[in-house]
Amino acid sequence: MKAARTSSRRGEWLAAVLLMAKGYGVIGVTLKTPQGEDRHPGQACGVLAVVEVKRRTSLLAALEAVGHDQRERLRRAGANLAARRPQLTGAAVRLDLVALAPGRFPVHIPDAWKGT
């Protein structure tokens, strides 16, 4: 359990560094909202990106690891966060994915579940 938690934290920080290198302003690594934990919210170009980080064996497995209910919870959490922060007023909420796989560079997919 401790090894999994350490691996998860390492992946989250790696994702944050990747997003900052791409020009995202990372608001926090994990923010608490009434809907639960909101992972890696960041802002770029008037968009609040709620970024889910998944470590799986492939990109497809990472995409499939986030089900419909979880995506809806993340959307609600992002909307709640945008409503509570004046600097995010009017920001569109988008769900991104950072996929991590052994031996591969992290992959950031903006609007990973567009249309779902």
Q: List, in order of start, the domains of the chain with CATH numbers.
A: 2-109 (3.40.1350.10)
Q: What is the structure's pLDDT at 80?
A: 86
Task: Find, among 19, 82, 12, the residue nearest to 47 by Cα.
Answer: 82
Q: What is the structure's pLDDT at 85?
A: 83
pLDDT digits 0-9 by tens, 54-70:
999 988 899 899 999 99
Single pTM value for the model:
0.80
Q: What is the structure's pLDDT at 56?
A: 92
Is the backbone of residue 33 left (phi > 0), alpha (psi -120 to 50) or beta?
A: beta
Task: Find, among 3, 2, 24, 1, the residue nearest to 108 by Cα.
Answer: 24
Q: What is the structure's pLDDT at 54?
A: 92
Share of the chain above pLDDT 70, in %: 83
Q: What is the structure's pLDDT at 110?
A: 94
DSSP 91: P
Residue 48, CA distances (Å) to 3, 28, 112 in order: 31, 12, 14
